[in-house]
Amino acid sequence: MSAPRCDITLTVNGETVVETVEARATLVDFLREQLTLTGSHVGCEHGVCGACTVRVDGVIVRGCLMLAAQCDGASVETIEGVSDTGEIADLQAAFEKRNALQCGFCTPGMLLTAQELLRGGGGVPSRETIREQISGNYCRCTGYQAIVDAIEAVAQQRAGGKP
């Protein structure tokens, strides 16, 4: 017997997408396998590592804990879309400059999670707040020092302070 499927219409990175998905397909698998948006990664597959982070209706979610079918009518943004708009260009540059990535597996989720904090306004967050914000995004390579440095530098830049 074939798996149940359903039709969904959603916006992905600003473009309307109409697809048929398996009812059990996760959002991140749908994005990667059906739409070939492979910037979102699949790590733990149970909501722990943050590698699958994407935005749904403006809020970051775990793409492995949400079904594609639940996104019918939603606006989904992936690292590809957020990169293309230039929204996180400063964060990307800071990560590169400060060696805040090695393999890059965690980086898309890390960037989206950092941006969630920084775009909320509220001035320059403390390093403790930054650490807490990214505590749900696991990095296997760099240690978090450089990542926190990069996020803090961008927060200062955006606040008009020194890099």
Q: Is residue 54 within 8 Å of 64, Cβ to Cβ? A: no
Q: Is residue 103 within 8 Å of 140, Cβ to Cβ? A: yes
Would you say 12 or 31 has its CB closer to ligand FES?
31
- Give Cα 11 to chain centroid, integer Å: 16
- Give Cα 44 to chain centroid, integer Å: 15
For residues 84 and 7, give the distance between their C-alpha atoms in angstroms, rounded to a whole number. 27
To ligand FES, the closest distance from the beta carbon of 38 in angstroms equals 14
60 phi and psi angles, rounded to 5 deg: -70, 140
Would you say 107 or 124 has its CB closer to ligand FES?
107
To ligand FES, the closest distance from the beta carbon of 120 in angstroms equals 21
Burial (Cβ within 10 Å: 0-12, 13-18, ≥19) of residue 40 = buried
Binding residues among 67-106 for ligand FES as defined by CB under 6 A = 101-106
For residues 119 and 140, give the distance between their C-alpha atoms in angstroms, rounded to a whole number. 26
50 touching ligand FES, by CB under 6 A: yes
To ligand FES, the closest distance from the beta carbon of 141 in angstroms equals 3
Residue of the chain from 27, 31, 51, 91 that contacts ligand FES (CB under 6 A): 51
Would you say 12 or 139 has its CB closer to ligand FES?
139
42 touching ligand FES, by CB under 6 A: yes
- 3-state SS, residue 140: coil
Binding residues among 114-153 for ligand FES as defined by CB under 6 A = 139-142
To ligand FES, the closest distance from the beta carbon of 134 in angstroms equals 11
159 touching ligand FES, by CB under 6 A: no
Binding site for ligand FES (CB under 6 A): 42-45, 47-52, 62, 64, 101-107, 139-142
